[in-house]
Amino acid sequence: MPLYVVVTSLESVALYVVVTSFDSVALYVLVTSLDSLTLHVVVTSLESVALYVVVTSLDSVTLYVLVTSLDSVTLYVVVTSLDSVALYVLVTSLDSEALYVLVTSLDSVTLHVVVTSLDSAALYVVVTSLDSISLYVVVTSLESVALYVVVTSFDSVTLYVLVTSLDSVTLHVVVTSLESVALYVVATSLDSAALYVVVTSLDSAALYVVVTSLDSMALYVVVTSLESVALYMVVTSLDSAALYVVVTSLDSMALYVVVTSLESVALYVVVTSFDSVTLYVVVTSLDSAALYVVVTSLESVALYVLVTSLDSVTLHVVVTSLDSVALYVLVTSLDSVTLYVVVTSLDSMALYVVVISLDSAALYVVVTSLDSVALYVLVTSLDSVTLYVVVTSLDSMALYVVVISLDSAALYVVVTSLESVALYVVVTSLDSMALYVVVTSLDSVALYVLVTSLDSVTLHVVVISLDSVTLYVVVTSLDSAALYVVVTSLDSVTLYVLVTSLDSMALYVVVTSFDSVALYVLVTSLDSVTLHVVVTSLDSAALHVVVTSLDSAALYVLVTSLDSVTLYVGYIFRLSGSICGG
């Protein structure tokens, strides 16, 4: 099964030759660039389990030699730099499973070598940063899955190589971007039902690579941002409903979280393992960056929340994994670009929502994939355009409502899933920098309410459990807003009262649930508009009454649904002292 690939570019007199032979399980890669007389030779032989890598650069007369022999589980690394005539030799023996770190910093050359060996997995990370050349190499070897990621950035040429080898599937992806020419190559093999997705964005010099393998329900996500030279790797495995960030080992039910901040060069590692309930809490505060990681794992319910806030970049990642429902939310905000990604995966239905807002234009993409129906909506909104997107799927009794308003820069997202009786409500208001998130799960009769106000940086969390009839009351008063939450739970009657009073607007929500009768009352009072909504549901009849009072008109709508479905709509308004109706 030999593979021969030859790519020749005559524009800049460069010759690239790649020869791969799988007959005797050997890989030979020869890349020669004649522009600046640079020769790069990589030879890998797997016959005797030996890896030989030779890289020679003739530009500045620098010789780098890396020889690794796995026969006796010994690693030899030799790096010779002739620029300043310095020789650095690192010999590491993995017989006793030790961790050796060599960090050498010169004036214009910095070499960082990290070798970590676990029981059944080895992680090799080599990061080399030069003046105008940065090489990032991440090699992760597991028992039956190996992931190799190489990212090389030059001044005017960027080469991204992603090679992923599985048991029966091999993916080779090479993406080369020049100044005015970009080449994107994606190879997908469906022999063993595997999906590989590669997305590369060169606007802000960022590479996003997503590789998903469905053989063992494993998700590998690699996000590399070259603006501030930061590498983020997230690996999520759904076999046992666990979340792995950067490095995770499930041999002894342990979670390894590695967070590296390059601003002050700090590394934080926390490992906590319990029998059936694991709680991982990592809070790291730096001068100009704060990382908050909260991971809570229960027997059948796991909640993972990752919130990272930087100076000009904010990353909010919320991952909630249930027995048969998984919710993945990724929100990334940059200076002039905001990316909102919401991915909800159910048993037979997935909802993907991507919202990207630029300075003078906004792009909203909503993609909903069902069993046999796919809905793709692409809408671009400018400064004075408001987009409202509503997607309702009744196949499996699921309601998804997305409302986006750009007039006052507010995003309202409501997702309701009736399969497992779960309600997810996300309301984001950018006027006063306030984020309100309400997640209610009725599987175990638990109510989670998260209200975050960024005006005075206040976080309020209310958890209500109806198993033992518990009452939680939280009252928070801000400068110009007051939030009152009262929840009362009885055996057969549940009363939820939410009262929010602002300066010029008041929202009153009363929800009363009985055994066979439910009464919902929503009263919203504005300066010149009052809205009264009363919804009463009986066993065989539903009465919906909406009363809206304006300055000079009143609208009354009465909807009664019986067996034969009858609709009554009426309006009454006063004109010149007389009353008119219809």
The boundaries of the domain holding residue 578 are 504-582
In a domain, 527, yes or no: yes
In a domain, 496, yes or no: no
Task: Output the pLDDT for position 505.
Answer: 34
Q: Which of the 8 DSSP states describes residue 249?
A: B
Which residues of the chain carry a pLDDT beneath 70?
1-582
Task: Answer for the pair 410, 402: CB distance below 8 angstroms, yes or no.
Answer: no
Place of tokens 């409502």: 401
Task: Answer for the pair 445, 467: CB distance below 8 angstroms, yes or no.
Answer: yes
Query: Model's pTM, two decimal places?
Result: 0.15
Residues 221 and 208: their CA atoms lie apart, in Å, by: 8
In a domain, 572, yes or no: yes
- How many domains does the chain contain in total? 1
Task: Output the pLDDT for position 286.
Answer: 29
Q: 405-420: per-residue pLDDT in tens?
A: 333 333 333 434 333 3
Task: Output the pLDDT for position 229.
Answer: 26
Q: 449-480: per-residue pLDDT in tens?
A: 333 333 333 333 333 333 333 333 333 333 33
Q: Classify strands 110-117 and 14-21 as parallel, antiparallel or unpaired.
A: unpaired
Which candidate, 547, 536, 542, 535, places its Cα nearest to that of 571?
A: 547
In a domain, 431, yes or no: no
In a domain, 539, yes or no: yes
Q: Is 564 exposed, middle or buried (0-12, 13-18, 19+ CB in 10 A)?
A: exposed
* Residue 225 CA neighbour count, 13 Å, CB half: 10
Residue 380, beta-bridge partner list: 363
Q: 275-319: per-residue pLDDT in tens?
A: 323 333 333 332 323 333 333 333 323 333 333 333 333 333 333
In a domain, 107, yes or no: no
Residues 568 and 541: their CA atoms lie apart, in Å, by: 14
Task: Answer for the pair 68, 76: CB distance below 8 angstroms, yes or no.
Answer: yes
Residues 329 and 527: their CA atoms lie apart, in Å, by: 36
Residue 124, beta-bridge partner list: 115, 139
Residues 246 and 291: their CA atoms lie apart, in Å, by: 15
Residues 205 and 225: their CA atoms lie apart, in Å, by: 7
If you compute the radius of gyration of the chain from its CA atoms, what whole number of angstroms results?
A: 29
In a domain, 92, yes or no: no
Contacting residues for 96 by C-beta, under 8 A, at least 6 apart: none
What distance lies between CA 173 and its chain's CA centroid? 22
In a domain, 249, yes or no: no
Using the CB atoms, write b or e for 73-85: b if 16+ within 10 Å.
Answer: eebebebebeeee
Q: 171-214: per-residue pLDDT in tens?
A: 333 333 333 233 333 333 333 333 333 333 333 333 333 333 33
